[in-house]
Amino acid sequence: MQDTKPHAAILASPGVGHLVPVIELGKRLVTHHGFHVTIFVITADSSSSAETQLLSSQNPNVLDIISLPRVDISGLLDRAASIVTKIIVMMRESLPGLRSTILSMEYRPTVLIVDLFGTEALDIADEFEMSKYVFIASNAWFLAITIYVPTLDEREEDDHVDGQKPLKIPGCEPVRFNDTLDAYLDRSDQLYGEYIRIGREICTADGVLLNTWEDLEPKTVKALRDPNLLGRVTRVPVYPIGPLAREIGPAVSNNPVLNWLDVQPTESVIYVSFGSGGTLSAEQTIELAHGLELSRQRFIWVVRPPLDNDASGSFFNAGNVADGMSSFLPDGFMGRTKNLGLIVPMWAPQVEILAHPSVGGFLSHCGWNSTLESIIHGVPMIAWPLYAEQKMNATMLAEELGLAVRSAELANGVVGREEIKKMVRRIMKDKEGYMIRKRMKETKDKALEALSKGGSSDESLSRVVEDCVIGLQAAGNRAK
């Protein structure tokens, strides 16, 4: 039977960090706006167990999740290709599967929402006369640089990359050379070309949804809409609809990490994690271990086997380390810290940890999901960016919003143990940490307000929904 609800299809890039916000968007469209939502996912042999588990734990009565036909990119890429290049190629190779799957659906979606790496699919939305939106699962500042760089690309001279000057984006905070995405540094690289293409394609959508909220980035959101500023570059409407972040799951009994947290004092534990893919070098892993030990602060550390020169090395499966950790941690570390902290191999229940009252700080790579999860649970941060747009996120958190501390030593490579000890104590013990925690809690309140009924993000998404419903009615009239 044909459903009369509007039907949105969301195309998600591979990787937990991309799936998490897409799933949250889908759930919100279903529960708050009466949509039917189908999420198209792209899986591969390299998909991590965390990804598989995330997908299988979704309620099929809320979301339809369809895996597109598998693509094999092993012959297309050398092993050294960057993680983003791999994702982009997987997305491109999945387009025929997306087209044929939509074609075969009895109850066709009328709206297509794609994430950053899915913009080539916007043509498919045109073919099927669907409304088309891009969901940037990040912040407004990142959208600003993404749509502005194609304009810079048309110029011969490049002060930012060649002269290492800050990148001035009209109406926005400039982006320091050190914070720029690696992809922008080499105009001859394939990835640079892909980002320019994505920046242009975003502007062809009917709208761009952002996982941020008006209050968090008022200046940048204004610039994105101002016809005299960034609005000159693009007329595409922007809708801040966040923060969309994972909620805590059903109570888990007998999780050793949560059981341990239950018996620690309030706000006494620092949680250390670098997201789904972040990986440290061998030397940095040793320094971090010593730094945590020297701080004498309780900790939970999600540990991955170190990799030199590949900060996103664990993005697709990094195997299991449970037995081999002593080979890359300092001699005796596990024994000496057994009453101080917990080492969690590979993966931890992050949202449940951040929501626990015993947690008082988060040393994070500043992936945008982790950032939002920290804000929503009012946990102050130590910003330790590794790759992608994480350095911009860290700058925003530490310098603009005052929600994190960040070490200058990060720019020089390895952060030493004394510096790590100092940062942990700044957040967990010092007046500075107290002030950051206070600001974090105020930010949390504003975030929740934006999402609540009638709040700015709720209203923004309602406007998108209205446009989609009008589109659906128009299509219905055409069909009559």
239: phi then psi, degrees, rounded to nearest 5:
-130, 100
> Chain centroid to CA 316: how far?
15
CB of 164 to ligand UDP, least distance (A): 26
Q: Evaluate the CA torsion angle 234, 240, 243, 246 in order and state its sign.
A: negative
> Is 115 a residue of the active site?
yes
CB of 432 to ligand UDP, least distance (A): 24
CB of 243 or CB of 433, closer to ligand UDP: 243
382: phi then psi, degrees, rounded to nearest 5:
-105, 120
Q: Which residues bind ligand UDP (CB under 6 A)?
A: 16-17, 20, 246, 273, 275-277, 302, 347-348, 350-351, 367-370, 373
Q: Which residues pair with 208 in a beta bridge?
A: 134, 238
The structure tokens 């044909």 sit at 2
> Chain centroid to CA 200: how far?
21
Token pair belonging to 432 = 């500075």
Report the distance separating Cα 102 and Cα 109, nearest Å: 8
Selecting among 7, 36, 115, 160, the annotated active-site residue is 115
CB of 242 to ligand UDP, least distance (A): 12
Selecting among 18, 160, 290, 356, the annotated active-site residue is 18
CB of 161 or CB of 355, closer to ligand UDP: 355
Q: What do you get for the CA distance between the two ends of the chain, in Å?
A: 18
CB of 351 to ligand UDP, least distance (A): 5
> Chain centroid to CA 383: how far?
15
Number of Cβ within a 10 Å radius of residue 385: 24
> Is 290 a residue of the active site?
no
Q: Residue 29, exposed/middle/buried by CB under 10 A (0-12, 13-18, 19+)?
A: buried
Q: Which residues pair with 323 in a beta bridge?
A: none
CB of 277 or CB of 291, closer to ligand UDP: 277
CB of 277 to ligand UDP, least distance (A): 5
The structure tokens 């974090």 sit at 440
CB of 20 or CB of 122, closer to ligand UDP: 20
CB of 237 or CB of 278, closer to ligand UDP: 278
Residue type, 284: Q
Report the distance separating Cα 94 and Cα 78, nearest Å: 19
CB of 387 to ligand UDP, least distance (A): 8
CB of 237 or CB of 367, closer to ligand UDP: 367
Residue least distant from ligand UDP (Cβ):
17
| DSSP class per residue in 17-37 | HHHHHHHHHHHHHHHHH--EE
Catalytic residue set: 18, 115
